[in-house]
Structure 1
């Protein structure tokens, strides 16, 4: 029995066989006992170790593959994907979309993440990170004056925030930030309904970039908070309109 086979134990609860398999993978990934690039035990070995049928193993593998957690290589075997950061958040994203949350809770979530990202970027941004922020801001400035589509502007905005997330120097925070941005993307896009909003957003992004470069945490947080408040007004108005039907 190899070391990876020993990680999986027989089904002992009332969950379905597929759920048991997925839960086993989740636990081993979180515990870092399974790591990117590791070879996954064969279908027959997994079935025996988990105490489930080979059909359940195949079904579970299809789900893991769909989320990008495993890489199935025909004739070679199945491996833990080398790029699973965002993939592991996809089920969380789906869960969040399907759950009824209060608007206030969502506003507080985004505020917490945005301010934390700015604080960490001020502390940890490398020269390469600062250059990436400057380049992302330059593209936003060019885009704002080109009369491009709303979709193009949103892409430039998100590109800046992705660079900001990377500047935190914390891959866990970076991945969580990307998840939050993906969830709020429609609401972020809705704040750009008027040209004045784009002008305001561009100025806010300039302030954030300047504050990170000068290592001014209070200025970075103030700029991020101003951005969240602008978005919050639009988001809450949308939620109220939906409630009123």
Structure 2
């Protein structure tokens, strides 16, 4: 069985995986949701992008995990993709859940079409990226109760994590990886992901839901994660 390290995207902490964790554990997997520095219960901890990469590496080493499946959602695909290259033979697989992917020397804001607006918003908000409002989740396959849970669990995201450059120690195309594309958030992967999917070590899985599948379709997401672990 695999050891899953689950990392949610911007604004969210470990509690985002509350409905996925029982499904994976029932299948016999070790499951370890992680809150990154500066978020949720770790608010106030200074953090840049490399802090988040180190958070992930340190958790793998602290728990002495082997056969690790790193899972990065949204923003967290960037630190997860970097950490995957740094944990050596502990890594079994990487799953990018509707996420950004790191480019060596690039940042979240430089790799995303809306990045400039994000950088401006962060600069105008004391160096923090304000969470989304409930209305921003429309059309993402979420119930009102699920939206309320996301909003209640969101905290401002440390802005430095969005602007620091990524440092890759291993080309992403060499990693054994699954990319989960959530179709309500766009029918096609971004150009950088499409290029990576040309690698024989990467595969694409489509999920008919929005950008937050750990809330909208936790059981189906858990099944996808379990299958990815079996393909390591």
TM norm structure 2: 0.23
**Greater strand proportion:** 2
The TM-score, its normalising length taken from structure 1, stands at 0.22
